[in-house]
Chain A
Amino acid sequence: DGGITQSPKYLFRKEGQNVTLSCEQNLNHDAMYWYRQDPGQGLRLIYYSQIVNDFQKGDIAEGYSVSREKKESFPLTVTSAQKNPTAFYLCASSPHWLRDGSSYEQYFGPGTRLTVT
């Protein structure tokens, strides 16, 4: 089955620790995204990658880092510098970057709920 996997589903960490969230896709998509969702809120973009070995900051990149060394993988590290890391984190991918005339559908993973105490 093709799709996006995120692991783990639930993650607990102590304040001051860095933590890495996994995101893998076997859809052969060029673009990948990380979003954060707080209770009752919409999704806010953390980082995005148009293609392998490239990534750009989204609206709320402070306290986060990413890498895109392989097309299928886009891990997100939540660092101790992130002031309010407890949230639901969603990874997504799309076939191409924002190219006119194509489908703009983003395919989302099941999410990782991170709790930092």
Chain B
Amino acid sequence: LAKTTQPISMDSYEGQEVNITCSHNNIATNDYITWYQQFPSQGPRFIIQGYKTKVTNEVASLFIPADRKSSTLSLPRVSLSDTAVYYCLVVPIISGSARQLTFGSGTQLTVLP
């Protein structure tokens, strides 16, 4: 079971780049890494997924080192509206068991003016 560990909270200022790291030491060979954003009293929203190296989309980048034991979500030039909880979730593929689909406690990102 790829348990994930993230910092509980982070503060940043508007316009800065924010990097949130997630540790997943027990990740299996075929598992994928996904990241979600959640605002209070709403369902999470998918941000990005990756397997190795770097993935970029219109809102974020995901960096995954060669050993895949961690991943870093990078948010460029954050704004106040990026204040939210960010979760990383390791998706089990080979075992196909969704019993392992448990989100960790997430990182509360607060963007200050």
Contacts and interface: CB of A to CB of B under 8 A. Distances in A.
Interface stretch (B13-21, B63-71, B72-80, B88-96): B88-96
Nearest to A108: B43
Given A42-B87, A42-B105, A57 B99 contact: yes
Which of B46, B98, B104 has the most chain A CB atoms closer than 10 A to its own CB? B98
- Looking at chain B's contact residues, the main secondary structure is loop
A113 B40 CA distance: 12
Contacts, number: 67
Contacts of A59: 99, 102
B98 A45 contact: yes
Interface size band for A: 20 to 34
Given A98-B91, A104-B32, A104-B91, A33 B101 contact: yes
Contacts of B92: 98
Interface string A42-63: 1111001000000011110000
A113 B41 contact: yes
Given A45-B102, A57-B99, A58-B98, A100 B30 contact: yes
A108 B99 contact: no
Contacts of B103: 35, 42-44
Given A98-B91, A98-B93, A108 B105 contact: no
A106 interface: yes
A115 to B, nearest CB: 13
Contacts of B54: none
Interface in A20-42: 33, 35, 40-42
A33 B36 CA distance: 16
Interface of B: 30, 32, 34, 36, 41-46, 49, 87, 91-94, 96, 98-99, 101-106
